[in-house]
A and B are shown apart, each in its own frame.
Chain A
Amino acid sequence: MDHLETARAMFGTTMAFHIIFATLGVGIPLMVLFSELLYQKTKDRDFAVMANRWTKGFAVLLGVAIPSGTIAGVQLSLLWPGFMEVIGEVMALPFQIEIYAFFVEALFMSIYVYAADRISPWMRIVSLCLVALGAVASAILITNVHAFEGTPAGFRIENGEIVDVDPWAAFFNPSFFTTAGHVVVSAYTTGGFVIASIAAFKMLRQPIGSRLRRFHQKALLLGLTVGGIFSLLTAFNGHESAQLLHEYQPEKLAAAEGLFETQDYAPLAIGGFTDRETEEVKWAIEIPWALSFLSGNRFDTVVQGLNDFPEEWWPPLYVHTLFNAMVGIGSLLILIAAGGLGWYKFIKKRPFPKPLMGLFIASGPLAVLAIEFGWIFACTGRQPWVIYRMMTTEDAVTGSTQLGILFPLFGLVYTVLGIAVILVLRFYFKKHPVQNEIDMQE
C-alpha cells in the first residue's frame, strides 16, 4: 500500500467501526422513545421494561460511540490536514454546531442514566428526547460535511487561494437535505431491525405461548413496524439521492450503474460485476430504459457514461457491486417487514414460520451491512476527489510518513473495543434476565 492508500484505509477503518455505533446511537434512542410513549399510552409495563433494557444497551454502545467519534473527528485533522484547512475556512459551521448537539447528548445521557431515580418521569422523557435529538442533529451536521464534499458550494479556489467564502451557502449545499435525510432514515431503519433481530432470536428460545415469548414478540413487532416504515422512506429518499448524482456527480452514477456509453433510454443493470475491458456489466440483469427513467423521470433522459470523463476521474468500478448490495438489502428489508407484519395481521393465530423468523434474525446484521456498503460506496465513489472537482484526496493527505505503525495499533484497539462491547452486553443481559424485570414489575 502506498502512503495515500494507507491513510485512506486507516480513516476508512475508523469510519467503518464508528458508523456501526453512530448509527445505533441514532436508531436506538428512537426505539426507546417509542416504547416509553407506548408505555404511557397502553400502560403495558412490558414497554417500560423494554425501554429500560434498551437504554442499558444503548449506554454501553455509547461507551464506544463517543471515543470512536472523537477519534474520527480528530483523525480528520491528523490524516487530512489539507482537507481540514479548506473545511476550517469554508465549512466550519456544521462542525461547530455539532459540538452543541454533542454536548446536549452527553449532558442528558448522563442525566438519564445516572440520575434516573432522582428525576420525575416527565423529566426522563424530556431527557430522552434531548438525547435522541442530540444524536440525530450530530448525524445530520456531520453528514452535511460529507454532502459538501460531493457538492461543494460557497467558495472558489483562485490561484490556490480560497476566495469568495460564504459559510451559509456552503452549509446549505445542494445535496445537504437529501444526504442528511438518507443517513437519518437509514439509521432509524437499522435501529428498528436490530431490535427486531434480537427479539426474534430470543423468541426462538422460548416455548410458544409463554409469557417471555409474548414479551419478545411485542418488541419484534415494534421493531418491524419502525424498521418497515423507515426502510420505505429510505428507498424514496434513495431515489432522490440517485437523481442528485445524475445532476451533480454524473461519473459517480455512471460507475454505480456500470454505464460506459452516454445514452438515452439507458438500461438499469442489476447485479453482476463491471468489466473494464469489455465496458459492460457481466452477469447482470438488465432492465431496459429503467436507468434513464430513474435519473430524470423520463425514458429519454440522457445518462452520461464513464467514457465522457477522463479515466483518472473515474471512481473504482467495484462501486457498482457495493451500490447494488446496499439497494438489494434495503429492498429485502422492506419485504421482510411487510411479510412479518402481514403475517401477524392476517394469520394471527399461527406463530411465525421458522424461515420467516430466520429472516427477522438476519435483518439487523443485514441493515448494518447495508450502512457499511452505502458509506463505502459514497466515499470511494467520490474518488479521486476529497472535495469534488476542487481538491484531490492526494493533495489533502498528511505529509507525516509514520502511518504504517499507527494503522495496526488503531486496528488492534477497535478489535479490543469491539470484542469487549459484545462481552459486556452479553454479560449484563445474562446477569439481568428479562424474567427478573418482569417479575419485579408484576
Chain B
Amino acid sequence: MPDVLIAITVLWGFIFIYSVMATMDFGAGFWSMVYINKERTNATNIANRYLSPTWEVTNVFIVAIVVALFSFFPGATFTLGTVLLIPGSIILLLLAVRSGFLVFSHIAEEYRKPLTYISGITGFIIPGLLILVLPVTHGNYIEVRNGVEQLLFGELMTSFHAWTFIGFAISSTLFLSSLLLADFSNHADEKEAYRIYRRDALLLGPVTLLMALLVMLTMRYEAVWLYQGMMEHLPFLLASAFAFLLAGVFLYLPLGKRKLGWPRLAVIVIVLQYLLASYAYGRAHLPYLVYPTITIEDGFTNPDAFRALFVSYIFGFAILFPGFIYFWKLFMKDKRYAKQQKSGYSE
C-alpha cells in the first residue's frame, strides 16, 4: 500500500472511531436528559455511569483527528482550516460548554438538572454540526474570493443535501447510543432500563436507515461524482444494509436468557454496518480530500516526516493499548461499576 493510502486510512480510521465513540457519548447525554424524571427506571443513571468516565477519552480523539489531518496532509490544512472556521468554532464552543458542565454536574448534585439539560441539548446539536464537515468537502459550498477560499455558510445551511446529513447524524447518534445503553443496562441487570433503551433502538433504527437513504438520494443530485463512486462499491452498501437487518433480528427476536434479544451481538453487527458504509463512502471520496481542488497526493507530507509519524503512531498505540484494555475492564466489563446505585463520583 502506498504511504499516502496508509495515511488516509489512519485518518479515516480515527474519524470512524471518534464518530462511533462520540455518537454514544453525545447520545448518552441526550438520554440522561430525556429520562431524568423517570427515577424508577434508572435509565438516567445508566447513561450517566457510561458517560462519566468516557467523555475525556472520547474528547482526545477530536484532537487526534485534527493532528492526524494537518500532520499527514499539511497541504489540505490551509483550505480546510479556512473554510471550517465558522462551523469549527461553533462546534468548539458547544463542546467546551458541554464538557465543562458535564463535569460540574457530577460535583454539584443540586444543580444536576439544569446542567443535564445543557449536555442533553448540545448532545444532539454537536453531532449535527460535526457532520457538516462531510458536505463541505463535497465542494459545492466553497467559493474563491480575492484569492481566498470562503465557505458559503448560508448556502450550506439552506441545502437539502446538508440537512439530510444533519438528520442522519442526529438519528445515528440517538440510535447508536440507545443500542449501546441497552447492552450496558442488560449487562448491569437493569431490566427496566434495558426495556426502554431497547424500545428506543428499535424505533430509531428504521429512522436512521431512512435518513441514510435520503443522504444517498440527495447526493445523486448534489455530488454526482461521489454518488457514482459509492455505486461502484454497491456490494459494501448492500452488506451494510444486511448487517442492519441482522442487528434488528438480534435485538427483536426472543433470544437469549431473558428472551429479550442479544444486545451485545446487535452492537457488534451495527458497528460493522457503519464500518462497511463508511468504507464505501471513504473509498468513493478518494482521491479528493476537498472536491475538486485538493487530492490526497497534493496535500501529502514529505516522506521523512511520514515515516517518523508512522513509527510514532505504532509506538504510541502499542504503549497505550494496555491502558485502553484496563480502562475497558474497569468501566465496561466490571459489573460492580455498572450496577452501582449512584454514579461513583461523589461517593
Are B56 and A109 in contact, with the CB atoms below 8 A? yes
Are B100 and A420 in contact, with the CB atoms below 8 A? yes
Are A118 and B103 in contact, with the CB atoms below 8 A? no
Contact partner, B60, options A84, A99, A113, A398, Cβ 8 Å: A99
Report the nearest B residue to A428, measured CB to CB.
B107
Q: Is A62's CB within 8 Å of the partner chain B?
A: yes
Are A63 and B74 in contact, with the CB atoms below 8 A? no
Tally of contact residues, A, Cβ under 8 A: 75
A87 to B70, CA, bound (A): 8
In A68-114, which residues have CB < 8 Å from any B CB? 68-71, 73-75, 77-82, 84-90, 92-93, 95-100, 102-104, 106-111, 113-114
Q: Could you say which residues of chain B place their CB within 8 Å of the CB of A56?
A: 107
Q: Could you say which residues of chain A place their CB within 8 Å of the CB of B89?
A: 75, 78, 406, 409-410
Are A114 and B67 in contact, with the CB atoms below 8 A? no
In B50-103, which residues have CB < 8 Å from any A CB? 52-54, 56-57, 59-60, 62-64, 66-67, 69-75, 77-86, 88-89, 92-93, 95-103
Report the nearest A residue to B96, measured CB to CB.
A67
Are A115 and B344 in contact, with the CB atoms below 8 A? yes
A159 to B150, CA, bound (A): 26
A110 to B89, CA, bound (A): 27
Are A85 and B75 in contact, with the CB atoms below 8 A? yes
Contact partner, A118, options B151, B304, B309, B337, Cβ 8 Å: B337
Are B308 and A100 in contact, with the CB atoms below 8 A? no
Tally of contact residues, B, Cβ under 8 A: 78
Are B86 and A400 in contact, with the CB atoms below 8 A? yes
Q: Could you say which residues of chain A place their CB within 8 Å of the CB of B331?
A: 110, 114-115
Q: Is B323's CB within 8 Å of the partner chain A?
A: yes
Q: Could you say which residues of chain A place their CB within 8 Å of the CB of B100?
A: 63-64, 67, 417, 420-421
Q: Is A59's CB within 8 Å of the partner chain B?
A: yes
Contact partner, B93, options A81, A106, A413, Cβ 8 Å: A413
Instruction: Fill in one digit per residue for A402-421: 1 if any B CB lies within 8 Å of its CB, else 0.
Output: 11001001100100110011
Contact partner, B99, options A67, A102, A398, A427, Cβ 8 Å: A67
Instruction: Fill in one digit per residue for B311-342: 1 if any A CB lies within 8 Å of its CB, else 0.
Output: 01100110110011011001100101100000
Instruction: Given A71-B92, A427-B107, answer yes or no on A114-B344 (Cβ-Cβ < 8 Å).
Output: yes
Report the nearest A residue to B98, measured CB to CB.
A67
Q: Could you say which residues of chain B place their CB within 8 Å of the CB of A400?
A: 82-83, 85-86, 148, 150-151
Q: Is B108's CB within 8 Å of the partner chain A?
A: yes
Q: Could you say which residues of chain A place their CB within 8 Å of the CB of B92?
A: 70-71, 74-75
A436 to B178, CA, bound (A): 40
Report the nearest A residue to B144, measured CB to CB.
A399
User: Could you tell me the distance in whole angstroms from the C-beta of A132 to the nearest C-beta in chain B?
Assistant: 15
Q: Could you say which residues of chain B place their CB within 8 Å of the CB of A359?
A: none
In B209-240, which residues have CB < 8 Å from any A CB? none
Q: Is B301's CB within 8 Å of the partner chain A?
A: yes
User: Could you tell me the distance in whole angstroms from the C-beta of A13 to the nearest C-beta in chain B?
Assistant: 13
Q: Could you say which residues of chain B place their CB within 8 Å of the CB of A109?
A: 56
Are A63 and B67 in contact, with the CB atoms below 8 A? no
Are A111 and B70 in contact, with the CB atoms below 8 A? no
A171 to B2, CA, bound (A): 26
Report the nearest B residue to A116, measured CB to CB.
B344
User: Could you tell me the distance in whole angstroms from the C-beta of A174 to the nearest C-beta in chain B?
Assistant: 19
Q: Is A329's CB within 8 Å of the partner chain B?
A: no
Are A398 and B82 in contact, with the CB atoms below 8 A? yes
Contact partner, A99, options B67, B77, B108, Cβ 8 Å: B67
Report the nearest A residue to B316, measured CB to CB.
A100
Q: Could you say which residues of chain B place their CB within 8 Å of the CB of A85?
A: 70, 74-75, 77-78
A81 to B70, CA, bound (A): 9
A165 to B304, CA, bound (A): 7
